[in-house]
């Protein structure tokens, strides 16, 4: 069944190797995610679509222990909610991106470890459409990470 991104042009999809879509300023070269209408550093509106590296390093992380409010709500209820990891990942030299992690087990996470962009199920809409979002998976996650990356 087809799956749709939670928002347009945040990551390349469908794709075997999805990439986040950022913006690169044509004036000062500043890179941001997601692509902004104008550059936060110099105010230029000459911001071009710029695909970010797929892999980066884990800058910091925490776990989301309670149900987030809209617009991040995924349709979970307090009964179905399970904690998940949230991290800030440095992608290349260019930008740090916040996102869900594929694990909430902090024992498996360490600062500076290599992370990779994956696309994971986010929610199922009332009409049965699967909505997907991006997340970061530890590159050496082994079976669990490979499973999640392969779910389409
Ligand atoms: Zn700029």
pLDDT in tens, 94-135: 899 999 999 999 899 999 999 999 999 988 888 999 999 999
**Cα 18 to middle of ligand 1, angstroms:** 26
Q: What parts of the chain have a pLDDT lower than 50? A: 143, 145-152
Q: Show the tokens assigned to 47.
A: 């911001």
- Report pTM: 0.84
**Cα 34 to middle of ligand 1, angstroms:** 14
- Cβ atoms of residues 133 and 116 within 8 Å: no
Q: Whole-angstrom Cα distance, residue 146 to residue 55? A: 15
Domain co-membership, 98 together with 130: yes
**Cα 128 to middle of ligand 1, angstroms:** 41
Full residue range of the structural domain in which residue 133 is found = 53-140
Domain co-membership, 62 together with 133: yes
**Cα 51 to middle of ligand 1, angstroms:** 17
Q: Whole-angstrom Cα distance, residue 94 to residue 78? A: 37
Q: Whole-angstrom Cα distance, residue 68 to residue 76? A: 9
Q: Whole-angstrom Cα distance, residue 24 to residue 144? A: 33
Whether 2 is covered by a domain: the verdict is: no
Domain co-membership, 69 together with 46: no
Whether 123 is covered by a domain: the verdict is: yes
């Amino acid at each position: 069944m087809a799956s749709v991104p939670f928002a347009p042009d945040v990551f390349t999809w469908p794709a075997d190797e999805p990439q986040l879509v950022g913006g690169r300023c044509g004036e000062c070269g500043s890179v941001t995610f997601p692509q902004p209408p104008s550059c936060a550093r110099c105010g230029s509106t000459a911001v071009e679509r710029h695909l970010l590296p797929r892999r980066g390093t884990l800058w910091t992380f925490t776990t989301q222990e309670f149900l987030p409010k809209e617009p991040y709500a995924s349709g979970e209820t307090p009964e179905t909610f399970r904690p998940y990891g949230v991290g800030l990942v440095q992608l290349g030299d260019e930008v740090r991106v916040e996102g869900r992690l594929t694990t909430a087990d902090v024992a498996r996470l360490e600062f500076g470890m290599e992370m990779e962009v994956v696309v994971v199920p986010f929610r199922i809409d009332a009409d049965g459409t699967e909505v997907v979002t991006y997340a970061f998976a530890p590159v050496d996650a082994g079976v669990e990470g490979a499973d999640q990356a392969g779910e389409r």
